Amino acid sequence: MTIETINPTTGERLKIFEQWNDRQVEDALAETAAINAAWQATSFAERARLFRNAAAELRKNSAQYAGIITLEMGKIAKEALAEVEKCACGCEFYAEHAAAFLQDESIATDASLSYVAYLPLGTVLAVMPWNFPFWQVFRFAAPSLMAGNTALLKHASNVPQCALAIEKIFRQAGFPQGVFRTLMISAAQVEKLIADPRVHAVTLTGSDMAGSRVAAAAGAHLKKSVLELGGSDAFIVLPDADIEQAATVGVASRFLNCGQSCIAAKRFILTGPIADRFIELLKHKAHGLRMGDPSQENTQIGPMARADLRDQLHQQVTDSVTAGATFALHGGPSAGPGFFYAPTIIDQVRPGTRAYVEELFGPVATVIRATDEEDAIRIANDNRYGLGASVWTGDVKKGEWLARRIQSGASFVNGLVKSDPRLPFGGIKASGYGRELSVPGIREFVNIKTIWIK
């Protein structure tokens, strides 16, 4: 069996890697298990020093790492560089704050001394996706390793060079051999790893179907899991909003990373008389995006990551239009090499259609019209996902009140939904469970242990 990487800009095969056999997996797992006790015994100061080294390595060779991201999954150069920088910031954030986040907490009881300690679990297996191939790895690795855990990475099969580069970054930063290992394995090999007693927890970012399988495997072996799954984020625009600003951010949110983001604005829920005006602005701004070679500086939207993803997206759009939706901007698959899909906007999307019910993971904006703000909240919550959402209004207090009522892990008012190391990140419903980042993120994979002394 092999793992191959395809250039989504040209459709050409870049490299082929041999999938690891059982012996290779065992060697890596044994190495990580052997270093666990020594790594847990290191001080926060030592771990922080190494993560600052990792941040420095990311910045020193940012063009090289961004180039790998662009080559393997088609992210435009500017966004790839920003992703590498975000990884460096995440490393520095936990280097700075992990000790405080995990310090013992005294609790007054009938004991002479009682407190809560936050102690590492052991080895965390991470099953990671391709759309942010560096950030989503560092998003789990920085808090997990700073907490004293070791890590095994099973990355998406279309970004093997990113996976290997990340392990190299940890080695370059001076982390002991075995603390972080990349495994060149298939999805079929994951369940066996979860079952191994030397793996203590698992985290997955990916589809809800993959999440269900990983959660079932983890549950069968009574192991902690965190899942960050799909999203179909609502982008609610009220009549008193700054329509121009909302449309500008809406285009950025929907078409960032060629629309391949869990927290992209996917469902534009427009209220009252502003709907037609907003759609015209959205259409104008989306149509003006320069599509092309992602390695070129002036490109604003690159290819989708894989041909099958493009085909799946196009079928969702085709089925939705057949069911009654209309094109406000008719983009679609582009002729020629590569996996390009021109920005598309579909209007008059109604309940029951695929664009209403499903996540559209690509450069397609769905427009759903609401009668008023109450109807907008109803529509926002009429979805199986619950990752992020945003509300656009001139009345900030009303926006806050509405944001609290949306069923999601994060709600933003008059702003682009994004992940931030300072804030917890994750979803509810079919968007998963558990949290990454901030204080909750580093406490997901620790033993919250009571110590009682008399």
Tokens, residue 253: 């949110």
Residues labelled catalytic: 228, 262
Q: Tell me what pLDDT residue 15 has.
A: 95
**pTM score, two decimals?**
0.97
Helices (H), 121-260: 135-146, 160-173, 190-195, 208-220, 243-255
Residues of the chain with pLDDT under 50: none
Residue 17: how many CB atoms within 10 A of its CB?
15
SS3 state at 119: strand
Contacts 24+ apart (CB under 8 A), 297-302: 297/77, 297/78, 299/76, 299/77, 300/76, 300/255, 301/76, 301/255, 301/258, 301/343, 301/363, 302/8, 302/9, 302/70, 302/74, 302/75, 302/76, 302/258, 302/340
Hey, how many other C-beta atoms are within 10 angstroms of the C-beta on 259? 24
Q: Which domains does the chain have, with CATH numbers?
A: 2-229+431-453 (3.40.605.10), 233-420 (3.40.309.10)
**Largest Cα–Cα distance in the chain?**
75
Provide the pairing of β-strand 432-433 with 224-228.
Answer: antiparallel
Q: Do residues 98 and 44 touch, judged by C-beta distance below 8 A?
A: yes
Task: Give the pLDDT score at 272.
Answer: 87
| DSSP 8-state code for residue 298 | T
Torsion angle of the four alpha carbons 30, 133, 380, 362, in this order, in degrees rounded to the nearest 10: -130
3-state class (DSSP) for residue 123: strand
- According to the model, what pLDDT value does residue 52 have? 98
